[in-house]
Amino acid sequence: MSDKTTIGVGMIGYAFMGRVHSQAWRSVSAFFDLPLVPRMAVLGGRSKESTEAAAAQLGWADVETDWRELIKRDDVQIVDICTPGDSHAEIAIAALQAGKHVLCEKPLANTVEEAEAMVRAAQAAPSSVKSMVAFNYRRVPAIALARRYVEEGRIGEVRHVRAAYLQDWIVDPEFPLVWRLQKDKAGAGALGDIGSHIVDAAQFITGQQLVGVSALTETFIKERPVAAASAGLAATGTGDMGPVTVDDAALFIGRLSGGGLASFEATRFAFGRKNAMRIEINGSLGSLAFDFEAMNELWFSSGGGGFERILVTEPDHPYVGAWWPPGHGLGYEHTFTHEINDFLAAIATGADPSPSFADGLRVQRVLEAVERSAAEGSRYMNVED
């Protein structure tokens, strides 16, 4: 007889993030030995027909067209929020108040105020009710290994973080005005969508916080064709034009709590860069470098010569032992499987999952400080607590 317990999941949203989360919910217990086995109980979406089609394709047992009904269901113990940022706070707070565990896509919210309310709801919930924000890049084995190296003191004291997240999917001015380009839906542009990832990664790997920033942001294309339909990061437009209300690129420098300096570049206008999430950390004894477009590699310099390439596919590397033999490599989707494994493990053991909503709020405060700085001619802004 199995000593495993089934736990019901209700996921809201089934576009790019919903698809990749579905893949992770489907595969996690086949690869990780967990006391809790997820059951993909309900998929939430607005249109019954499309949600049913997505549920059939992605492996969900049932659908709801009102997220409030999904949260109420007895067969749902975990609520997974894969919607645009404008609905995160309302759904997460209601789910926590209903006693459900919550996994929420990043960035945690569209504003600091919403993120604060989410943290309050997480803190007011019983300690057995868990919440986590989905900064999946923490679960790239090479990034988790970089953190291990920093913790072990292998690069010494952190002096510089040099982080960039470069994409090019909206470089064409005719690319439609999808929700990620609308402030009321996404909160911010490249800054929130991909800048949030590198802020989280920098804080995660170094174990430090950004305490102040100085920033520039720009919107290169001010108007775009209104979107008719979108799927993943692809979209078709109508003949009408509408205003882009978010940044296309954000550049900022910052100071870390340990005294080191950091630079960040988040842009969707880097021709040829598809998902180049890069981070380099220079310490007093050595350096680490990572590029997501070669995500199974971590580069390490221990001081003397140049960089040594570590192929992060060994069984003793973070998460890798659950998968394939050395050299066979992992992909983007595995980072979500790792994230969901860690979330289920926290629920099962009673540990606090990380990154918590409080960690998500901290990132939100950095994003807000970047916007304040950019609005005031790059003035240095403290990240307020």
Residues of this chain that interact with ligand SOE (CB under 6 A) are: 16, 167, 193-194, 233, 275
For residue 107, say if its preceding peptide bond is cis, omega within 30 degrees of 0: yes
The nearer residue to ligand SOE, 118 or 190, going by C-beta atoms, is 190
State the nearest-atom distance from the C-beta of 373 to ligand SOE, in Å: 22
Q: Do residues 250 and 370 touch, judged by C-beta distance below 8 A?
A: yes
CA distance 318 to 341: 12
Q: Taking CA 281 as the corner, what is the angle to CA 277 and CA 284, rounded to the nearest 5 degrees?
A: 175
Reading the block at residue 133, the tokens are 């924000």
* Closest residue by Cα to residue 284 from 267, 302, 297: 302
Q: Give 233 or 294: the residue with its C-beta nearer to ligand SOE.
A: 233
For the chain, percent helix, then strand, then coil, each to nearest 5?
35, 30, 35
Question: Count H helices, E strands: the chain?
Answer: 11, 17
Cα atoms in the 13 Å half-sphere on the side-chain side of 173: 7
Residues 214/379, Cβ–Cβ less than 8 Å: yes
Question: For residues 83 and 167, which CB has a smaller minimum distance to ligand SOE in the complex?
Answer: 167
Q: How many CA atoms lie within 13 A of 113 on its CB side?
A: 2
Smallest separation (angstroms) from ligand SOE to the CB of 335: 8
Residue of minimal Cβ distance to ligand SOE: 193
CB of 184 to ligand SOE, least distance (A): 17
Closest distance to ligand SOE from the beta carbon of 197 (Å): 6
Its sign, for the CA torsion 235, 241, 242, 247, is: positive
Residue 210 CB, nearest approach to ligand SOE (Å):
19
The answer to whether 111 and 187 are in contact (CB under 8 A) is yes
**Residue 34 vs 142, nearer CB to ligand SOE:** 142
Least distance CB 194 / ligand SOE (angstroms) = 5
Closer by beta carbon to ligand SOE, 64 or else 200: 200
For ligand SOE, the closer CB: 131 or 167 = 167
Closest approach, Cβ 16 to ligand SOE, in A, equals: 6
Smallest distance, Å, CB 71 to ligand SOE? 24
Amino acid (one-letter) located at 73: R
User: Given the complex with ligand SOE, which of 300 and 332 has the nearer CB atom?
Assistant: 332
> Which lies closer to ligand SOE via its Cβ, residue 65 or residue 275?
275
- What CA–CA distances, in Å, run from 108 to 97, 288, 352? 17, 28, 17
